[in-house]
Structure 1
């Protein structure tokens, strides 16, 4: 995709690029200047990505940020219903997190997710194991956990799943990075972090004193 088809979510210490196809194609952790763990932006699928999308649909219907925040909502409309995917990075506590919440808007929608973790700009294929139903990947100094109620199937150096979301349902995914020599970090509550993230950005934007005709564009650039 063209670079203008990507949206950015971040926590002021790093950021992810999310495409109109629902794929995270760039993410460096734990900092902006760290090696990436998703690098499809500069290569292909073998360099790592994480896609959450409506099954059989290559492109989302629309997307927008929630008010003056860096919380991204991507809407998928299908013949059977509609869903939105909420992407954000919560305020940094001990470790960086990327949260993706699939929320049913109407009807029922079959969703797919596929993730290929590749550390060091796509050069390192991690060792992945399942622990209490969640995925744990280790490669050199990097380690990530993927927490979700959706069971991910492994094969061909990737993990994927198909699941159905009905109106009013929420299916969260939490991607957490930490140094590989440290124990598993404490899990976050994705819904609590969504509220905390919204509050963080509202407070941050409130310091902007510009009230001119292009305020929305100014705030978004900031």
Structure 2
């Protein structure tokens, strides 16, 4: 089952966003856009509706452990999670590079100490869990196809399929870095280019560093203000300047209640408050783009 909403961290590429739980599970991701159907919808339902868990291996039937530490790397949308286990410490870095081609979710596993057994469990379900894709290998790549959509998994780890889920079991020691990338592509197009996770990580950090440097606020709450601004930027749809109120849909205000709106729209009130915050901190280009979109 999905975790508490406060256990989720946001990562995104200014065209869509993923929510990653403290136990290393991506439970929400719509591809290729904010308003597309979800391929991971465990946030709304159960694991049968799609998820991607990456963390320390655990005994069969045991609950996945929550990370002991979690933070964004500097002033960026690059998420780092660390687990301290009986075998050692491991770090997972999650991010979505600003888009230059296929949308990607990249996860990098890094050994910190000891030798930690790890497991990746990837269950892709299209159309909010209604559609189970056809999963097969193309050379060393794993591809899931469902109608007009395809998602490609690239990793150095050996993968195998079981119970309609793609697994990878491996271990990391200090200095080891194992990368996982999923890329979305229309199924009738050529396969997406092979990813460059390390280069994409550097480019993503540089993007956010340069964006944050434009901030004109230098008061006592700068750290909190910058983190809030990064979140607002992540909710801005890059190609048009439209600003979504939230990256999710159908999370009821009370279980069984009717107030379960789809917030993946530009609501004029929410956008106005967002633009006020951006303008007061030096971000005029976002306001210009939103006005042109409107």
Q: TM-score, normalised by structure 1?
A: 0.98
Q: In the alignment, which residue of structure 1 is the partner of 2:66? A: 59
Q: Does structure 1 conserve the Cα–Cα contact (< 8 Å) formed by 2:154 and 2:195?
A: no
Q: Does structure 2 conserve the Cα–Cα contact (< 8 Å) formed by 1:133 and 1:151?
A: no
Q: In the alignment, which residue of structure 2 is the partner of 1:27? A: 29
**Per-residue deviation at 1:178?**
0.7
Q: Is the aligned partner of 1:109 residue 2:111? A: no
For residues 22 and 155 of structure 1, the distance between their equivalents in structure 2, rounded to whole angstroms, comes to 20
Instruction: Structure 2: state its 5+ residue gaps.
Output: 59-63, 230-294
Q: Which has the larger radius of gyration?
A: 2
Q: Is the aligned partner of 1:162 residue 2:169? A: yes
Q: In the alignment, which residue of structure 2 is the partner of 1:78? A: 85
The CA deviation string for residues 134-181 of structure 1, in whole angstroms up to 9 with x for no partner, is: 210100111010000112211211111211001011000010001111
- Per chain length, whose mean CA-contact separation is higher, i.e. which structure has more relative contact order (CA < 8 Å, sep 6+)? 1
User: Which range is displaced more, 15-24 or 201-210?
Assistant: 201-210
Q: In the alignment, which residue of structure 2 is the partner of 1:143? A: 150
For residues 168 and 186 of structure 2, the distance between their equivalents in structure 1, rounded to whole angstroms, comes to 27
Which residue among 115, 121, 128 is the counterpart of 1:121? 128
For residues 33 and 206 of structure 1, the distance between their equivalents in structure 2, rounded to whole angstroms, comes to 30
For residues 214 and 109 of structure 1, the distance between their equivalents in structure 2, rounded to whole angstroms, comes to 38
**Per-residue deviation at 1:218?**
1.2
RMSD: 0.9
Which residue among 5, 8, 13 is the counterpart of 1:11? 13
For residues 140 and 215 of structure 1, the distance between their equivalents in structure 2, rounded to whole angstroms, comes to 46
**Per-residue deviation at 1:184?**
0.1
Q: In the alignment, which residue of structure 2 is the partner of 1:38? A: 40
Q: In the alignment, which residue of structure 2 is the partner of 1:175? A: 182
- Counterpart secondary structure, 2:179: strand
Which residue among 193, 200, 206 is the counterpart of 2:200? 193
The CA deviation string for residues 79-116 of structure 1, in whole angstroms up to 9 with x for no partner, is: 22111000000120111000000001111100011010
Runs of 4+ off more than 3 Å: none
For residues 123 and 94 of structure 1, the distance between their equivalents in structure 2, rounded to whole angstroms, comes to 27
Number of residue equivalences: 222
Q: Is the aligned partner of 1:220 residue 2:227? A: yes
For residues 46 and 171 of structure 1, the distance between their equivalents in structure 2, rounded to whole angstroms, comes to 26
The CA deviation string for residues 11-54 of structure 1, in whole angstroms up to 9 with x for no partner, is: 11111000001000000111111111100000000000000011
**Per-residue deviation at 1:133?**
2.4
Q: Does structure 2 conserve the Cα–Cα contact (< 8 Å) formed by 1:136 and 1:146?
A: yes
For residues 33 and 216 of structure 1, the distance between their equivalents in structure 2, rounded to whole angstroms, comes to 30
For residues 62 and 24 of structure 1, the distance between their equivalents in structure 2, rounded to whole angstroms, comes to 17
User: Which range is displaced more, 53-62 or 181-190?
Assistant: 53-62
